Amino acid sequence: MTGVTALLVGAGAVASRAARQLVETQGIESVLIASRRAEQGETLAATMGPLATAIQWSPDQPLPDGIDVVVCAVPTEAEFSVAEVAVSAGIPFVSTGDDPTVIASLHALDSAACDAGVPVVAGAGLAPGLSDVLARHAADALDSVDEINIARFGVAGTASRAAYKSACKERAMVVAGGVLASAKRSGHELVWFPDPVGARETTLVATGVGLLRAAFPGADIVRASAADLETSSKFTWLRKASSDGWGALRVEVWGMRGARREVVVYGVIERTAMASGTVLAVTAAALGGALPGLVATSTGTHGLGEIVSARAFLAELAERGVKSAVFEGVPVA
């Protein structure tokens, strides 16, 4: 096949990391960068080298000719408009946004995406995103899954921080007894992340729970939580979560292996923008055909947990410096 052309919408912290990963991917021929701030897009394209070009484009215009995949890393309110244009043009779409309302709007495009014969991938960032890939990898090691607990720490820029704080205040959602429902917050829960983040107080959120329920319909319990960014820490650099700040994941999956109930726990420590941008870029390259075999190009709207080939995807991330590990801390039943 000819080289892949990606349209990257956005030029912020996550988009910058995604752009770097895309231009360094064999099979990517061109990366077109569209930003509401033209100067920011031009600066990003200039730093990416000859494969990147800044263009003027907005969702009220048709897509440029020759686009193989649309990659979105913009504030959440703009995601749906970009996705709608991509689906109308019959082009695969992937975004990194984690706002539950926006993810729900992308699910509303499911029928249109099926009719157009293209995939829409929602929540391809840190959590949801990498967390879902790890949950899938853990599930592949078990005969069945009955409980999934995801915990996250860290943000990637101003918009990410705002969404994170909003998620911690808005209605939480859980899967209980296999049913998606509102959850009452009964206080903070202490979660152990990989060092050096360590123990953090977390609160239940709705972020990513619906995607996990779709990916693991047999799970009786699914919960997601976010760590308090303002919790004091002896690590000053961890208190300053910013566009270049550190992030962490803890993914805990319970299920049956043979006659025994077992748990698999994974941990990640990485700069949040780096992890999110790399997951976004690898997903986009896979959808465009530059990295075949990493995701199933199923039509309609999906989260990564539904369509990913977890082992191959994690191997690709590891080659790019984003590594996960079995977490040896004590799981909480």
- The predicted structure's pLDDT at residue 332: 41
**Phi, then psi, of 32 in degrees rounded to 5:** -95, 130
DSSP 49: -
Provide the pLDDT for residue 185. 79
Q: Could you tell me whether strands 179-183 and 52-55 are parallel, antiparallel, or unpaired per DSSP bridges?
A: unpaired
**Which 3 state secondary structure label does DSSP give 99?**
coil
**Which segments in the chain show pLDDT lower than 50?**
232-244, 329-333
For 215, the 3-state DSSP assignment is helix
* Amino acid residing at 194: P
Main-chain dihedrals φ then ψ at residue 201, nearest 5 degrees: -75, 135
Give how far Cα 219 sits from Cα of 81, 213, 276, Å: 32, 7, 26
Per CATH, the number for 130-272+321-326 is 3.30.360.10
Note the pLDDT of residue 170: 87
Report strand pairing: 325-326 vs 260-271: antiparallel
Q: How many CA atoms lie less than 13 Å away from 254 in the CB half-sphere? A: 14
Q: What is the pLDDT of residues 62-100, one digit of tens each?
A: 999 999 999 999 877 789 999 999 999 999 999 998 888
137 close to 314: Cβ distance less than 8 angstroms = yes
Fold category of 4-124+277-312 in CATH = Rossmann fold (3.40.50)
Domain ranges for the chain? 4-124+277-312, 130-272+321-326
The pLDDT of residue 96 = 92
The length of the chain in residues reads 333
Q: According to the model, what pLDDT value does residue 242 have?
A: 37
